[in-house]
Structure 1
């Protein structure tokens, strides 16, 4: 059984718990771009660590300021990778693959994501990516959380049966206190704005006046912030599976959008699981599938099944709900989810338990989400919101609006969220599936409106997270539009819907 977690690593731990052409940010207040770094370095390429990598992939380490307000102060390391253009004579620049998350490493992406790109794009660009600060082979962050607090049921704020949030409050306070005690200055530096500044340090180290980019999921928000802070350094900018850029909410809005995303995508699963030719048919109708899932979750709330190896070691209603949410990232997960439901109905827990995030992924995810924007602190407000959401969106049972560690975070955001605007070059192409559990279409349309004439949007009438060059639910129409843009700079004159 395969249940892809997607943004699980990104919003997981966090939920347990721009600019003028001169490079200043237009925000809910003003956020300055970094001053010039007088010690900006070049990259010295060598062999990459690890197995299964494209033999052409090279790696380097770049020192960047821990605090861009003090560019001559303490420095941390960023691990950067590239696969050079396969036809140097056809090379036109660098295509940066911006990792998702927050909390997803990117160092291997020239190998893994790069092979999805058509040969013509790999000929035209050096394919470059990086491990964001705090992750992977970059300088590590960590909170030293107890293993129980790495659980998906601790990291996602699923309320108790009936909607009680008392345990979520206790868990959130404990995680926030642990991170304050153990995280140090690096944890306090983790933010989307600093990741955008790190990208500009990478650009300068590469010796590039401009970068092109392909950002997916959280990478679309990083890419949007970079395009607002450093518009003069953007070339051809592709953002795929797009986050709502609302500067008043940012990650708070993304978490809340899971309620929308599950309702948008569950009908695809229900249709599959009720089709006469389905390999695992759960009911005769889509409504029957929905009733079966809701009824099973309620029974598991009352009487969980033992699940050896899971954290915690039981299959309860919230673990079923979380497994459903994770499965809705891609149609390839439908059969695994349906088998889980059949087994649980028969009193059997799955053999394979979901993996918990690592300490660095957990810390980067949590700190970025809490450092990017202020979170409400009123517990009565969370209680009311959870009760209302449980009625309006029963599949997610109030989780998307519940209290997280960010409500108890010890440090206020150092920068105000960047407001994405239509000021800047018209060189952005948005790509978006119409049914996406993690980045719903409604949020992507908000980013489209924010960019105005700077952007065009290619929408794909499909379900799944990731639209361009997708492995299992790809669209030749979307791929062609993205390839044409990366190779020629040509975008559609108007927004396009690929059916």
Structure 2
């Protein structure tokens, strides 16, 4: 968040991102289907190839990249020189001439500054699934992006289901803007039954509102759409930068189309092991977020003189607990209960640039001023529709992508065990994903066997933070292994913010820039020292702290 617009956009989509399975995971944790054949069914693969050929032919004939870029609609809030277009793709690639959907695309042309030679289009996906990348061309104006913006057209898009790209919804967005919600730290059997019923109702809502389109929101279709976008841009090979879920999308694309990959930056890597997608992956977020929650508390303790929350992580936890108990009794501002509080402080586990304002809000509340906490944690009606859409797409893609346990007993056993040592986010994460237990799609996808591509990939660049909670570091090691000998891994040691590129680490950004501009990677595995921790902001200087983060929906 803070000064990183990529993080801001990803926050809506990055509600709960996949990661590696811990060695201690219970044996009963997940049923896993064998990997899907490369390209899906024969009909889907043939349809995807046909649509991509048509897009490439249109690009060659049109001289405009195959896309009609014009002034962006006001709803996109994208100023000049950004231009927007729409890309038509099949809802179902097995029926390439059947029902079509439109994906929104944004672009800013390479500046050519300093005599730079244009290298084509750099396409970005910020993750989720459920986040829109339409904002990406705006990053051309950020400090440090000048050389990349000089050489590349920066292209963003909203994947299927997101924003105005055949938008998916599962419930009335207005219900997401209501508060407060009270989520117990140690849910009772009765509360669990309530959440199970709510998850089933949510899944039914997805089926009711999406109808026959629901099964077609998948990672495989996202990868097919990406290939059509590449072709429509007139690019023979794809240059791509993906964050979080965007790394999994990239890995699937590279497996399906290794000969169409030019360069790929994979930032904050999802573990692509088919045995982990997606139930097991999500389980491991609990200990990952617990580590990052500790990092925030340790930072606040080191700045006890500023915040007075306690001189040890345990003391800071006790201060947070007092606030938790208080809003359980009387919601802050009438709208912030324990659910809203947890969602706000989950952001501290994602991004350390929100630490000063989160610590200041706790301190202010304990001194009798609930206003900062209310401002940071209250649901915002203005983003309710966007948040609902992001959650719907996230849920549909993950539920469609793989098999999930259908019996509640498995979920209850696994998450009860995890919650004993990682209480901060375990149950909230479980309840978020619980619609997948009763997902109303009969035949779900089987995860692609990432790394089984028939030919060697060109050099790729994986970037990861060592203490990332949303996509823990072992996933980066697994992704590098599966991408092959040409994959290089840059690790930000001792840091844990989710989304490393553009996050204030000059060492990381230099490696990324050099790779995008020259294709050169820094070696098999290299490390960068962590970016500086945020400076404490006193209550008196609270207005100067980082701007309010865009919070994910309360679950």
How far 1:89 moved relative to its partner?
5.8
How far 1:396 moved relative to its partner?
2.4
Q: Tell me, what secondary structure is at the counterpart of 1:279?
A: helix
1:48-63 equivalences in 2 (<5 Å): 48-50=72-74, 53-63=78-88
Measure, in 1, the Cα distance between the counterparts of 2:304 and 2:461: 38
The answer for the alignment partner of 1:29 in structure 2 is 36
Counterpart selection for 1:433 from 458, 465, 475: 465
How far 1:361 moved relative to its partner?
2.3
How far 1:113 moved relative to its partner?
6.6
The answer for the alignment partner of 1:222 in structure 2 is 249
1:476-491 equivalences in 2 (<5 Å): 476-491=506-521
The answer for the alignment partner of 1:341 in structure 2 is 362
The answer for the alignment partner of 1:182 in structure 2 is 209
Shift in CA distance, 39/421, structure 1 to aligned 2, threshold 3 Å: closer
Is 2:331 aligned against 1:306? Answer: yes
Is 2:100 aligned against 1:68? Answer: no
Aligned residues: 479
The answer for the alignment partner of 2:496 in structure 1 is 463
Query: 1:103, 1:135 within 8 Å by CA — same for their partners in 2?
Result: yes
Q: Tell me, what secondary structure is at the counterpart of 1:404?
A: helix
The answer for the alignment partner of 2:42 in structure 1 is none
Counterpart selection for 1:96 from 123, 127, 143: 123
User: Which TM-score applies when normalising by structure 1?
Assistant: 0.87
Shift in CA distance, 330/388, structure 1 to aligned 2, threshold 3 Å: same
Q: Tell me, what secondary structure is at the counterpart of 1:103?
A: coil
Is 2:196 aligned against 1:169? Answer: yes
Measure, in 2, the Cα distance between the counterparts of 1:185 and 1:225: 25
How far 1:79 moved relative to its partner?
1.1
Query: 1:211, 1:233 within 8 Å by CA — same for their partners in 2?
Result: yes
Task: Please list every run of 5 or more consecutive structure 1 residues that lacks an aligned counterpart in the other structure.
Answer: 16-25
Measure, in 2, the Cα distance between the counterparts of 1:457 and 1:14: 20
Measure, in 1, the Cα distance between the counterparts of 2:359 and 2:425: 17
How far 1:146 moved relative to its partner?
6.3
Query: 1:217, 1:439 within 8 Å by CA — same for their partners in 2?
Result: yes
Shift in CA distance, 146/486, structure 1 to aligned 2, threshold 3 Å: closer
Counterpart selection for 1:332 from 328, 342, 353: 353
Task: Please list every run of 5 or more consecutive structure 2 residues that lacks an aligned counterpart in the other structure.
Answer: 19-32, 40-44, 59-65, 530-555
1:408-447 equivalences in 2 (<5 Å): 408-421=438-451, 423=453, 424-447=456-479
Is 2:340 aligned against 1:315? Answer: no
User: Which TM-score applies when normalising by structure 2?
Assistant: 0.78
Per-residue Cα deviation, 1:410-460 (whole angstroms, up to 9, x for no partner): 004543211211643142100111122321212222222322323110000
How far 1:203 moved relative to its partner?
0.9
Q: Tell me, what secondary structure is at the counterpart of 2:87?
A: strand
Greater share of helix: 2
Per-residue Cα deviation, 1:312-351 (whole angstroms, up to 9, x for no partner): x3412x4333322122222221122223333554576433
CA RMSD of aligned residues (A): 3.1
The answer for the alignment partner of 2:542 in structure 1 is none
Query: 2:9, 2:126 within 8 Å by CA — same for their partners in 1?
Result: no
Measure, in 2, the Cα distance between the counterparts of 1:211 and 1:378: 41
Query: 2:109, 2:154 within 8 Å by CA — same for their partners in 1?
Result: yes
